[in-house]
Amino acid sequence: MALYAAGGDPKRRGTNPPELIAAAHAGSFALSLANELGEAGYSPRQIDTTATVTMEQIAAVWTLTQVHLDVVAAVPRVAECDFVDAALRAKANCPVSRALNANISMRAHLTRREADGGQLVSRRGLARGRGFPPN
């Protein structure tokens, strides 16, 4: 498919569909995690989520086969076990996670660094794959 094959073309500008899916997944997961933590009585100060998607050519068709979520959060007074439980619930309940037919892995890290101000949710998406855009 020309759209995906041109992903590594340095002259081509713009965001490709896998990057959009990754960004949507990162944002949706961060909101789901903030919701899970809020329901458990915690107020996250900051949640940074990166979603990395893997695209592979399977039977000559580009297929999103895997998504890896990398999460770093600052949550005052939360126990590590409560944070991990909330992250696992967020992964299971995230609408984008549920919509994707892909293997979803996650690394969640709780930081004790206090963030300034209220809740800040930031997100970004990356697309990687075998033969799609070169890393």
Mean pLDDT per block of 10 residues along the chain (135 residues) reads 50 83 96 98 96 93 94 96 97 96 93 55 50 37
pLDDT of residue 8: 54
- pLDDT (tens digit, 9 = 90+) per residue, 47-73? 999 999 999 999 999 999 999 999 999
Superfamily for the 16-129 domain: K homology (KH) domain (3.30.300.20)
Domain extents in the chain: 16-129
Percentage of residues in the chain with pLDDT exceeding 90?
67
Q: What's residue 130's pLDDT?
A: 41
The owner of tokens 């965001």 is 15
Angle value at C-alpha 61, between 59 and 67, nearest 5 degrees: 105
pLDDT at residue 11 in the model: 63
